[in-house]
Amino acid sequence: MAAPQENGRIRFGAFDFDPLTRQLRREGTPVRLQPQPAQVLGLLLASPGEIVTRDTLRTALWGTQTVVDFDRGLNFCVAQIRLALGDSSDSPRYIKTLPKRGYQFIAPVASPPAAAPPNAKPRRSLIALACAIPLLVVAIFLILRNSAPPAPRRVAVARFENQTGDPSLDRVADALTDAVIVELASAGEHRLDIIGNAAILRQPRPQHDLLAIHAALHVDYILLGSLQRNPNGLQAFIQFITLPGQNHIKVARLPADSPELPQRIVKTILTVFPKP
C-alpha cells in the first residue's frame, strides 16, 4: 500500500521528498543532500519499482556536452543518497543496484494526486481564449528571444598532480580531480560545460600544451591543480587560466585536509563567473 502524500511531497518510510525543491526530510527535519544526489533521488522516486538505467541518469545529470568520469560521479551520488537514508547496498530498503543496468527504488511511495477535471467553460470564453493564444505565443517568443541565456563557457579540468613526492597520494590527487569535476558540473549547471576525462587532460603536467588543449577541446578555460607539501602542511594549489590567452585569472592555495576541499575549490573558481 502506498505511503500517504501531503502537499505534493512524496512520502516513504520516515522520509518525505519534495520533487520541486528536491528537499529531503526525515520526520519533518531537513536532511542535507547535495544537488546532484537529490536530482538522482528525484528521478528514482518518479519511477518507483522501475529500473532507471545508468544512461538515463547520465543524460539527466550531465547531458551530452559534459565530459566527466560518469561511473565515479554516479556512484558518488548513490552513495550520498544511501548515507542520507541510512540505506545499505548489501541489504537495501530503498535503493537496489542492478549491476551494469541501473537502480530501482524498492520502497513503497505515494503516487501524485490525479488532477481534477476542469470545469466546463462557456462557448464565448473559449472563443476569446482562442483569439488570445496567438498573441500570447508571440509575446512569449519575443520575451524568450530577448532574454536568451548566454552560451555556456567550456572549462577543462586537468588531472591534479601529486607534487609531494609521496606515491601514496597519487590516488588522493585522482580522487580530488574527479570530485572537483562532479562539483563543478553541478554548481555550474547551465553556465558551464565541463570536460574532465579527455585523454589529453590526463597526461603528466610537463606534457601539457595549453594551446593544443584549446585546439582539441575548444575550451575557454582550464583548471590546473596540484597537491603540495610546505611548512603549513598538505595544500592544494590551483590555477584557473583563460584559453587561448593563457592569462591566470584565479590562483589559490587551500588546505587539503578539509573534507569540503572540492566544494571550496569550485566556490573559488565560480567567483570568476557572475551569477545569472
- Cβ burial of 106 (10 Å; 0-12, 13-18, 19+) is middle
pLDDT at 39 (0 to 100): 92
Domain with CATH 3.40.50.10070 in the chain: 153-270
pLDDT higher than threshold 80 for residue 258: no
pLDDT at 68 (0 to 100): 64
pLDDT higher than threshold 90 for residue 206: no
SS3 letters across the chain = CCCCCECCEEEECCEEEECCCCEEEECCEEECCCHHHHHHHHHHHHCCCCEEEHHHHHHHHHCCCCECCHHHHHHHHHHHHHHHHCCCCCCCCCEEEECCCEEEECCCCCCCCCCCCCCCCCHHHHHHHHHHHHHHHHHHHHHHHHCCCCCCEEEEECCCEECCCCHHHHHHHHHHHHHHHHHHHHHCCCCEEEECCCHHHCCCHHHCCHHHHHHHHCCCEEEEEEEEEECCEEEEEEEEEECCCCCEEEEEEEECCCCCHHHHHHHHHHCCCCCC
Determine phi and psi for 268, rounding to 5 degrees.
-65, -45
Task: Identify the band that residue 104 occupies on the pLDDT scale cut at 50, 70 and 90.
Answer: very high
Q: Calculate mean pLDDT across residues 212-227.
A: 92
pLDDT at 222 (0 to 100): 94
pLDDT at 121 (0 to 100): 53
pLDDT at 40 (0 to 100): 93
pLDDT higher than threshold 50 for residue 209: yes
Neighbouring residues of 70: CB distance < 8 A, sequence distance ≥ 6? 54, 58, 62
pLDDT at 268 (0 to 100): 92
pLDDT higher than threshold 90 for residue 241: yes
pLDDT at 4 (0 to 100): 42
pLDDT higher than threshold 90 for residue 25: yes
pLDDT at 5 (0 to 100): 47
Q: Calculate mean pLDDT across residues 46-60.
A: 90
What does pTM read for this prediction?
0.50
Domain with CATH 1.10.10.10 in the chain: 10-105
Task: Identify the band that residue 8 occupies on the pLDDT scale cut at 50, 70 and 90.
Answer: confident
Segment among 57-71, 78-92, 150-164, 261-275 with least mean pLDDT? 57-71
Segment among 64-78, 92-106, 202-216, 233-247 with least mean pLDDT? 64-78
CATH no. of 10-105: 1.10.10.10
CATH fold of the domain at 153-270: Rossmann fold (3.40.50)
Q: Which of 22-31, 66-75, 105-114, 146-155 has the highest mean pLDDT?
A: 22-31
